[in-house]
Amino acid sequence: MWPTTPATLFIWLVLIQGSYALYEGMYCGKENCYEVLGVGRDDSKGDIAKAYRKLARKWHPDMHQGAEAKATAEKEFQRIATAYEILRDADSKTDYDYMLDNPDEFYWHYYRYYYRRVTPKVDVRLVIAVTITVISACQYYVAWNNYRSAVSYLLQVPKHRTRAMQIAREEKLLETDKKKLRGKSKSEIREEEEEVLKKVIEEKMDIRGGYSKPHWTDILWVRIILLPYTTALYIKWYVTWIWRFNIKKEEFGEEEKFYLIQKYMNCTKTQWESVDDEQKREYLKLRLWKKAEFDEWKAEREAEMKAKLAESSRYKSIRRYLKNNKQQMTFGPE
């Protein structure tokens, strides 16, 4: 009895299509790849390669004479090459065997077939490694560029340049012997002097924050490698903190006080390092490691800031503009 309604007809066609194990446009088409090469599903990879080489020698177009014979050989050689391409790859062979065993899942077979053909066969681990390497190299380059920019900037500041010049003369780093300077142009002498002053600034100046001198432990690759070690150190530090200050109720040391102040201020390590020592001492005098006193100090700072803004003519003009222009901002024609 044949289906009569459209819905029944559609289901019937789907069941008929799913009953076939071989699909046109996939793998070897309507042919069985194993039969094309004359091998079995249980044959080894070496047996499949051996069968392919034997058939390839037989049907290679260069082994045939005449246009018709060459055309036939090309078609046959293409069949053999396609079958071998499917069966030589372990993943592709697994998908093909699964299709033969489960012919009704044709939509899944289409997905797996074209997914493997379109997706580049690149090891994900290699992609991740290359990406991390590129990021690490860029990170290190940018850090060194920032550091050199900071040194060059300090060299242009009069007080730092004067101090560097004074240190260079005291340590006799600048060449003053006229006999040795003879034959050198003024530009060469100036370049040598600049290099000496740069070295003095690098050695004597404490550059902190985002412009500090980069260290190899700051590189992303090194941080990833040392992650288990740093995690263990953090766990040890956290347990020690709980034991000393929560259980034994010990007094905070200077390092712990600075840690709490940095935490309350939501400062990153780089931001905290850029704060000068005098300012940090002021924070200690204000006892800002105590949450209640920090909140009080923060409220006072915010009140002072609001008072300064209230006195600012620019701030008043902005407030006046916002008050008089309450309409919404629009983009494009209304």
* CB-based contacts of 94-97 (< 8 A; 24+ apart in sequence): 96/27, 96/33, 97/41
Does residue 108 carry a pLDDT above 60?
Answer: yes
Q: What 3-state DSSP class applies to 173? A: coil
CA angle at residue 264 from 258 to 267, to 5 degrees?
75
The 10 Å Cβ neighbour count of residue 301 is 10
Q: Which residues contact 81 (CB under 8 A, 6 or more apart)?
A: 56
* Rounded Cα gap, residues 267 and 260, in angstroms: 10
* Rounded Cα gap, residues 23 and 28, in angstroms: 8
pLDDT tens profile 152-162: 888 888 888 88
- So what's the pLDDT on residue 90? 87
C-beta of residue 209 within 8 angstroms of C-beta of residue 274? yes
Q: Which residues contact 165 (CB under 8 A, 6 or more apart)?
A: 174, 197
Does residue 3 carry a pLDDT above 60?
Answer: no
123: its two tokens: 């090891």
C-beta of residue 96 within 8 angstroms of C-beta of residue 86? yes
% of the chain beyond a pLDDT of 90: 30
As a whole number, the mean pLDDT across the chain is 81
State how far Cα 221 lies from the chain centre. 11
C-beta of residue 237 within 8 angstroms of C-beta of residue 247? no
pLDDT tens profile 52-93: 999 999 888 888 888 888 889 899 999 999 899 889 888 888
CA angle at residue 85 from 83 to 88, to 5 degrees?
100
* Rounded Cα gap, residues 241 and 257, in angstroms: 12
Band of residue 333 on the pLDDT scale cut at 50, 70, 90: very low
Q: Which of 284, 233, 224 has its CA nearest to residue 255? A: 284
pLDDT tens profile 274-296: 788 889 999 999 999 999 999 99
Integer-rounded Cα radius of gyration of the chain: 38
* Rounded Cα gap, residues 183 and 193, in angstroms: 16
pLDDT tens profile 227-243: 999 999 999 999 999 99
